[in-house]
Amino acid sequence: MSTSHVTAVIDLDLPGATISRHLYGHFAEHLGRCIYGGFWVGEGSPLPNVRGIRADVVDALKTIRIPNLRWPGGCFADDYHWRDGIGPRHQRPRMVNSHWGDVVEDNSFGTHEFMDLCELLGADPYVSGNVGSGTVREMSEWIEYLTRDDDSPMAALRRNNGREEPWRVPFWGIGNEAWGCGGNLRAEQFASLARQYSTYVRDHGENRVYRIAVGANSDDYAWTELLMKSFDCLAKEPDQPAGPFQALSLHHYTMTGPWSDKGSAIEFSADEWYLALARAAYMEELLTRHTTVMDRYDPYKKVGLVVDEWGTWWNVEPGTNPGFLYQQNTLRDALVASTHFDAFHRHADRVVMANIAQAVNVLQAMVLTDPDTGALVLTPTYHVFEMNSAHHDASALTVHLRDVPSIESGGRELPLVSASASVKDNAALVSLANLDAESSRTVALDLRGHDIVARHARVLTAPCLNAHNTPAAPNAVAPADHHGIRPHSRGLEVDLPAHSYVTVSLELA
């Protein structure tokens, strides 16, 4: 294998925007085995559970410090009527999950179960309200039910259903994919509805809601522009809040083929490896261009950008329900995730939250559970989240990369090294990915502004590009201590094996 040298210049004493921990958020939709058989096994399950919530799934997600969880969808959100999911479970009405497998949903996992899950996880709830088939009153009453603490009608109903104290709900979605499954609306239609619905998602008591309106599908910059025009007070004083909603969403998935044949999760060529990573790197362009539109109307950055659906979307595993979106998760998925995080870190002044799709058993999951044996497997993507946890709420550092080789794939130039860094409490974390399928790299870290008093590196890689974890081989792709790091005249040298992800933790003088 050949080795080439790359330089990364990092000024450790020039912190930038805060990398919100909420960039490491997750998504749980009523889809396939994400909720039922993933998070929710029921109180009578032989699997260890807490009030029906699977205990080892909770423990795994707590380990990666899950900051928030988006629910109940996704497309499911705009068919979901929250009153169907409260009260005694055996009395809850059934519904058809028309988007995902055309299966019957019994609503045994509803509002109380979700809020219980968030409390067990220590995660902030992000509730997606129903704009597509719901009403303004329905959404207004849901936030009252959740967060009001007096004798209002909805607070009384919550108490009757067993919850005395209100919950804290900091994030609220005003619909989902209104341009598609959430109503097939035009941008002008949705902008008016978003203003209306947001008005009635009220702050009750001490609960303060951050309202997130449906933003663009991938590169629909016209949608972003029209919604930005709908805001009040954007170009006035920097301390004057935006209204009536506070953020726009963005959805973008990585795949190597068209929607009808998105590519295999585990059977792919080197060319498809590069194509997937080039399409993941496209997130940088999307963020730059949407941010440019937003900056024109919002120079004080009052409005956040929330990438609340992202990740890989492959063909389902053979033999599984095509509507359940169950896919395997390989080393390639891990590097797709790391590439996204580098882009999110660079845009931390505007990108305030992100939610990978999805947490358990669906798309680019953190955790896979075996429906027959109950075995739990941590995916390669899970390990990237864990290795990056020191970036949470740290200050972004600019990484100036030099002499980075690249490859053309899918009409785009893909740099073969991706990096980002942050600093917090006299410690820094540098994240480095070698996207080259075959060749190793050595990166010289030109570290300026602080002396380094201690260092530690970890590596995530495997012999094969399509390596993945299974119940029989749960650690085929797992982090290990990395010894390919040594002093350099300007800081440190770090060896990056082919197709690898490396994090370097630094203690600063």
Kindly list the catalytic residues: 177, 309
Please list, residue by residue across 134-172, b when 16 or more beta carbons sit within 10 angstroms of its beta carbon and e when fewer do. bebebbbbbbbbbbbeeeeebbebbeeeebeebbbbebb
User: Residue 352 has which token pair?
Assistant: 């305030």
Residues 223, 214: Cα–Cα separation, whole Å: 10
Contact 401, 471 (CB under 8 A): no
Helix (H) or strand (E) holding 400: strand 399-402
Q: How far apart are CA 234 and CA 135, in angstroms?
A: 28
d(CA 464, CA 266): 11
DSSP state of 340: H
Enter the tokens of residue 486: 């040594």
Report the SS3 class of residue 186: coil
97 bridge partner residues: 103
Helix (H) or strand (E) holding 191: helix 187-200
Q: What is the distance between the alpha carbons of residues 312 and 376, in angstroms, rounded to a whole number?
A: 21
The angle subtended at Cα 384 by Cα 381 and Cα 388, nearest 5°, is: 150
Give me the sheet containing 417-424, strands edge to edge. Answer: 18-19, 394-397, 417-424, 427-434, 500-508, 452-460, 480-481
Map residue 215 onto helix, strand or coil: strand
Query: What is the C-alpha separation between 175 and 399, in angstroms, rounded?
Result: 37
Q: Residue 207 in 3-state DSSP?
A: coil
Measured between alpha carbons, how far is 485 from 501 in angstroms, rounded to an integer? Answer: 14
